[in-house]
Amino acid sequence: MVCISAQIAQFTTNYKPDVNVVIDMHETNQQEVMKELFDGAIDIALIRTDYLDEVDVFDCIPYKKDIFVLVCNQNHPLSTKEAVSLNDLIKYPLSLLDTSSVIYTIVMKAFERHGIEKKTKCLTTRHKILMEILQTAPNISLLPLSLVDLTLFPHLCTVPLVEELTSDVALIKLKKRRLNKITKDFWIYWQKYFQMQ
């Protein structure tokens, strides 16, 4: 997988020498991102497209398919398994991102599809806070692998899921929105380096 930050830095550095390129990147929940996109506060957004409404109004460059894994403390009883099923998770307290997140919806619908009634023990708006909680609690979580940084949280581990659980990530823009020259060039640059094969 290509490193996003390195490639974005390369774009800003190698763009026309006489042009100062500033890319304003910020992270927030997807509802806020979509509001900013429709309000014109931002031009493009990297989002999860699994439950994206009004898909016909967007141009979209698929980026990757994120695979979910179990995340738990290294001392957790499930940590030594080669893989776990959703049924294996029933008796353990579940921590997730909050109910407004696409990740929450994906996970809870997966339990529902498999006929499992599962309630959450803890909800938070940030995945790093969630992983901090998992370091010292018996809780478990299901997260896309790309969000799990074991170098920052060395007491955690990941375990593959038996059932495939994924999330699609893409760069999007409104079709009706006219982009300025630099943003348009960045869109083309993204297609070259990041479009999912």
Q: What is the pLDDT of residues 138-190, one digit of tens each?
A: 899 999 999 998 999 999 999 999 999 999 999 999 999 899 999 999 999 99
Both tokens of residue 165?
A: 């659980």
Give the mean pLDDT of the chain.
89
- pTM equals 0.86
pLDDT at 22: 76
How does pLDDT run across 48-106, given as a tens digit for each residue? 999 888 888 999 999 999 999 999 999 999 999 999 999 999 999 999 999 989 999 99
Both tokens of residue 130?
A: 């969630």
More confident of the two residues 2 and 150 = 150
List C-alpha distances in Å: 147 to 2, 44, 59, 153, 179: 15, 21, 25, 12, 30
List C-alpha distances in Å: 149 to 71, 132, 178: 11, 11, 36
> Does the pLDDT at position 135 exceed 90?
no
Q: Residue 21 — pLDDT band, cuts 50, 70, 90? A: confident
> Does the pLDDT at position 1 exceed 70?
no
Q: String of b and e for 87-104 (b: at least 16 CB within 10 Å)?
A: ebbeebebbbbeeebbbb
pLDDT at 82: 96
Q: Are 109 and 128 in contact (CB under 8 A)?
A: no
pLDDT at 3: 64
Q: How far apart (Å, rounded) are the C-alpha atoms in residues 20 and 13?
A: 9
Q: Residue 196 — pLDDT band, cuts 50, 70, 90? A: low
pLDDT at 7: 76
Q: Which of 175, 192, 187 is nearest to 37 (CA)?
A: 175
